[in-house]
Structure 1
Amino acid sequence: MQRMGMMIGLNGEKVAEYKRLHAAVWPEILELISSCNIRNYTIFLREPENILFGTWEYHGTDFEADMAKMAANPKNKEWWAVCMPCQVPLETRAAGEWWAMMEEVFHLD
Protein backbone atom coordinates (compact mmCIF):
# COMPACT_ATOMS: atom_id res chain seq x y z
CA MET A 1 0.00 0.00 0.00
CA GLN A 2 1.23 3.46 -0.89
CA ARG A 3 -0.19 6.68 0.62
CA MET A 4 -0.26 9.75 -1.60
CA GLY A 5 -0.90 13.44 -0.94
CA MET A 6 -1.43 16.25 -3.42
CA MET A 7 -2.42 19.92 -3.63
CA ILE A 8 -4.05 22.24 -6.15
CA GLY A 9 -5.70 25.63 -6.07
CA LEU A 10 -9.42 26.20 -6.50
CA ASN A 11 -10.87 29.11 -8.42
CA GLY A 12 -12.65 31.27 -5.83
CA GLU A 13 -15.60 31.74 -8.18
CA LYS A 14 -16.00 27.97 -8.53
CA VAL A 15 -15.93 26.89 -4.86
CA ALA A 16 -19.70 26.31 -4.63
CA GLU A 17 -19.73 24.39 -7.91
CA TYR A 18 -16.80 22.21 -6.83
CA LYS A 19 -18.48 21.43 -3.51
CA ARG A 20 -21.73 20.60 -5.31
CA LEU A 21 -19.95 18.24 -7.72
CA HIS A 22 -18.19 16.42 -4.90
CA ALA A 23 -21.29 16.15 -2.74
CA ALA A 24 -22.73 13.91 -5.47
CA VAL A 25 -19.83 12.30 -7.34
CA TRP A 26 -21.11 10.31 -10.30
CA PRO A 27 -21.43 6.58 -9.44
CA GLU A 28 -19.35 5.61 -12.48
CA ILE A 29 -16.48 7.74 -11.17
CA LEU A 30 -16.65 6.18 -7.71
CA GLU A 31 -16.61 2.70 -9.28
CA LEU A 32 -13.67 3.65 -11.51
CA ILE A 33 -11.64 5.00 -8.60
CA SER A 34 -12.16 1.75 -6.70
CA SER A 35 -11.38 -0.39 -9.76
CA CYS A 36 -8.08 1.50 -10.11
CA ASN A 37 -7.06 0.31 -6.62
CA ILE A 38 -7.53 3.65 -4.85
CA ARG A 39 -8.92 3.53 -1.31
CA ASN A 40 -9.52 6.08 1.47
CA TYR A 41 -9.61 8.97 -1.03
CA THR A 42 -10.32 12.30 0.66
CA ILE A 43 -10.23 15.90 -0.58
CA PHE A 44 -10.02 18.76 1.92
CA LEU A 45 -10.63 22.45 1.13
CA ARG A 46 -8.88 25.31 2.92
CA GLU A 47 -10.81 28.56 2.60
CA PRO A 48 -10.32 31.47 2.10
CA GLU A 49 -7.04 30.50 0.40
CA ASN A 50 -8.98 28.02 -1.77
CA ILE A 51 -6.39 25.27 -1.62
CA LEU A 52 -7.43 21.66 -2.10
CA PHE A 53 -5.50 18.87 -0.38
CA GLY A 54 -6.14 15.33 -1.56
CA THR A 55 -4.96 12.09 -0.02
CA TRP A 56 -5.47 8.45 -0.93
CA GLU A 57 -4.05 4.99 -0.51
CA TYR A 58 -3.00 3.00 -3.57
CA HIS A 59 -3.49 -0.75 -3.07
CA GLY A 60 -2.53 -2.02 -6.51
CA THR A 61 0.64 -3.34 -8.10
CA ASP A 62 0.88 -1.23 -11.28
CA PHE A 63 0.19 2.43 -10.54
CA GLU A 64 0.99 3.65 -14.07
CA ALA A 65 -1.41 1.13 -15.64
CA ASP A 66 -4.18 1.99 -13.20
CA MET A 67 -3.74 5.73 -13.82
CA ALA A 68 -3.73 5.13 -17.60
CA LYS A 69 -6.97 3.15 -17.21
CA MET A 70 -8.48 6.05 -15.29
CA ALA A 71 -7.32 8.67 -17.79
CA ALA A 72 -8.65 6.69 -20.78
CA ASN A 73 -12.13 6.14 -19.33
CA PRO A 74 -14.72 8.17 -21.31
CA LYS A 75 -16.89 8.96 -18.26
CA ASN A 76 -13.81 10.11 -16.35
CA LYS A 77 -12.93 12.43 -19.24
CA GLU A 78 -16.40 13.95 -18.83
CA TRP A 79 -15.84 14.28 -15.06
CA TRP A 80 -12.48 15.95 -15.55
CA ALA A 81 -14.06 18.31 -18.11
CA VAL A 82 -16.36 19.71 -15.40
CA CYS A 83 -13.88 19.59 -12.50
CA MET A 84 -10.66 20.82 -14.09
CA PRO A 85 -11.99 24.30 -14.99
CA CYS A 86 -12.61 24.79 -11.25
CA GLN A 87 -9.00 24.03 -10.38
CA VAL A 88 -5.90 26.24 -10.48
CA PRO A 89 -2.70 24.14 -10.65
CA LEU A 90 0.22 25.29 -8.53
CA GLU A 91 2.96 26.99 -10.53
CA THR A 92 5.55 24.90 -8.68
CA ARG A 93 4.11 21.51 -9.70
CA ALA A 94 6.38 19.08 -11.53
CA ALA A 95 6.22 18.68 -15.30
CA GLY A 96 3.25 16.53 -16.27
CA GLU A 97 1.40 17.04 -12.98
CA TRP A 98 -2.02 18.67 -12.62
CA TRP A 99 -2.29 18.23 -8.86
CA ALA A 100 1.13 18.84 -7.25
CA MET A 101 2.25 15.63 -5.55
CA MET A 102 3.62 15.81 -2.01
CA GLU A 103 6.23 13.91 -0.06
CA GLU A 104 5.04 12.01 3.01
CA VAL A 105 7.23 13.01 5.95
CA PHE A 106 5.23 11.54 8.84
CA HIS A 107 2.52 8.95 9.42
CA LEU A 108 1.06 7.32 12.54
CA ASP A 109 -1.41 4.41 12.42
Structure 2
Amino acid sequence: MTRHGQLIGIGADAIAEYKRLHADAWPGVLAKITDCNIRNYSIFLKEPENLLFAYFEYVGTDFEADMAKMAADPETQRWWSKCMPLQRPLDSRAEGEWWAEMPEVFHHD
Protein backbone atom coordinates (compact mmCIF):
# COMPACT_ATOMS: atom_id res chain seq x y z
CA MET A 1 0.00 0.00 0.00
CA THR A 2 1.25 3.48 -0.83
CA ARG A 3 -0.17 6.75 0.47
CA HIS A 4 -0.67 9.69 -1.88
CA GLY A 5 -1.18 13.39 -1.18
CA GLN A 6 -2.15 15.82 -3.92
CA LEU A 7 -2.87 19.54 -4.09
CA ILE A 8 -4.78 21.75 -6.52
CA GLY A 9 -6.43 25.15 -6.40
CA ILE A 10 -10.10 25.93 -6.90
CA GLY A 11 -11.81 29.13 -7.93
CA ALA A 12 -13.68 30.84 -5.09
CA ASP A 13 -16.77 30.98 -7.28
CA ALA A 14 -16.52 27.23 -7.97
CA ILE A 15 -16.45 25.93 -4.39
CA ALA A 16 -20.22 25.54 -3.98
CA GLU A 17 -20.53 23.61 -7.25
CA TYR A 18 -17.54 21.40 -6.39
CA LYS A 19 -19.08 20.56 -3.02
CA ARG A 20 -22.45 19.87 -4.66
CA LEU A 21 -20.90 17.48 -7.19
CA HIS A 22 -18.99 15.58 -4.53
CA ALA A 23 -21.97 15.38 -2.16
CA ASP A 24 -23.66 13.30 -4.86
CA ALA A 25 -20.69 11.61 -6.56
CA TRP A 26 -21.68 9.31 -9.41
CA PRO A 27 -21.78 5.61 -8.42
CA GLY A 28 -19.94 4.55 -11.59
CA VAL A 29 -17.09 6.94 -10.84
CA LEU A 30 -16.83 5.67 -7.27
CA ALA A 31 -16.85 2.08 -8.51
CA LYS A 32 -14.03 2.85 -10.98
CA ILE A 33 -11.96 4.43 -8.19
CA THR A 34 -12.32 1.20 -6.21
CA ASP A 35 -11.69 -0.93 -9.31
CA CYS A 36 -8.42 0.97 -9.82
CA ASN A 37 -7.20 -0.03 -6.34
CA ILE A 38 -7.73 3.29 -4.57
CA ARG A 39 -8.95 3.16 -0.98
CA ASN A 40 -9.48 5.64 1.86
CA TYR A 41 -9.91 8.55 -0.59
CA SER A 42 -10.68 11.99 0.83
CA ILE A 43 -10.61 15.56 -0.49
CA PHE A 44 -10.24 18.49 1.92
CA LEU A 45 -10.79 22.21 1.27
CA LYS A 46 -8.64 24.99 2.77
CA GLU A 47 -10.19 28.42 2.63
CA PRO A 48 -9.50 31.29 2.11
CA GLU A 49 -6.51 29.99 0.13
CA ASN A 50 -8.95 27.88 -1.92
CA LEU A 51 -6.79 24.77 -2.05
CA LEU A 52 -8.02 21.20 -2.36
CA PHE A 53 -5.94 18.50 -0.69
CA ALA A 54 -6.56 14.88 -1.71
CA TYR A 55 -5.39 11.85 0.21
CA PHE A 56 -5.73 8.23 -0.84
CA GLU A 57 -4.14 4.84 -0.40
CA TYR A 58 -3.17 2.76 -3.41
CA VAL A 59 -3.36 -1.00 -2.83
CA GLY A 60 -2.56 -2.28 -6.33
CA THR A 61 0.71 -3.28 -7.96
CA ASP A 62 0.80 -1.03 -11.06
CA PHE A 63 -0.23 2.54 -10.27
CA GLU A 64 0.39 3.88 -13.78
CA ALA A 65 -1.70 1.13 -15.41
CA ASP A 66 -4.54 1.64 -12.95
CA MET A 67 -4.52 5.40 -13.51
CA ALA A 68 -4.56 4.82 -17.29
CA LYS A 69 -7.54 2.47 -16.84
CA MET A 70 -9.35 5.15 -14.85
CA ALA A 71 -8.55 7.84 -17.43
CA ALA A 72 -9.92 5.62 -20.22
CA ASP A 73 -13.29 5.13 -18.50
CA PRO A 74 -16.04 7.13 -20.31
CA GLU A 75 -18.03 7.89 -17.14
CA THR A 76 -14.91 9.09 -15.34
CA GLN A 77 -14.11 11.29 -18.35
CA ARG A 78 -17.61 12.84 -18.12
CA TRP A 79 -17.11 13.39 -14.36
CA TRP A 80 -13.76 15.05 -14.95
CA SER A 81 -15.37 17.31 -17.60
CA LYS A 82 -17.57 18.68 -14.78
CA CYS A 83 -14.83 18.94 -12.13
CA MET A 84 -11.74 20.03 -14.04
CA PRO A 85 -13.06 23.47 -15.13
CA LEU A 86 -13.59 24.28 -11.44
CA GLN A 87 -10.00 23.41 -10.50
CA ARG A 88 -6.91 25.61 -10.77
CA PRO A 89 -3.74 23.52 -11.20
CA LEU A 90 -0.67 24.83 -9.38
CA ASP A 91 2.03 26.47 -11.49
CA SER A 92 4.60 24.39 -9.58
CA ARG A 93 3.12 21.01 -10.56
CA ALA A 94 5.33 18.56 -12.42
CA GLU A 95 5.07 18.03 -16.16
CA GLY A 96 1.98 15.96 -16.96
CA GLU A 97 0.32 16.45 -13.56
CA TRP A 98 -3.10 18.01 -13.02
CA TRP A 99 -3.17 17.60 -9.25
CA ALA A 100 0.32 18.29 -7.89
CA GLU A 101 1.74 15.19 -6.18
CA MET A 102 3.17 15.73 -2.70
CA PRO A 103 5.88 13.47 -1.27
CA GLU A 104 5.21 12.08 2.17
CA VAL A 105 7.70 13.41 4.71
CA PHE A 106 6.20 11.92 7.90
CA HIS A 107 3.77 9.17 8.88
CA HIS A 108 2.73 7.67 12.20
CA ASP A 109 0.27 4.79 12.72
TM-score bracket for the superposition, by shorter chain length: over 0.9
Identity %: 63
Aligned residues: 109
Distance 1:5 1:33 in 2: 16
Q: Give 1:82's aligned amino acid.
A: K
Task: Give the Å deviation of 1:48.
Answer: 1.1
Distance 2:83 2:26 in 1: 12
| Runs ≥4 residues deviating over 6 A | none
Task: Give the Å deviation of 1:92.
Answer: 0.3
- Residue of structure 1 in register with 2:4 after alignment: 4
- Residue of structure 2 in register with 1:71 after alignment: 71
- TM-score after normalising by structure 1: 0.99
Q: Secondary structure at the match of 1:48?
A: coil
Q: Secondary structure at the match of 1:97?
A: coil
- Residue of structure 2 in register with 1:108 after alignment: 108
The 5 A counterparts of 1:1-109 are: 1-109=1-109
Distance 1:63 1:49 in 2: 30
Q: Secondary structure at the match of 1:108?
A: coil
Q: Secondary structure at the match of 2:20?
A: helix
How well do the aligned residues superpose, as a CA RMSD in angstroms?
0.4
Q: Secondary structure at the match of 1:94?
A: coil
List alignment gaps of at least 5 residues for structure 2.
none
- TM-score after normalising by structure 2: 0.99
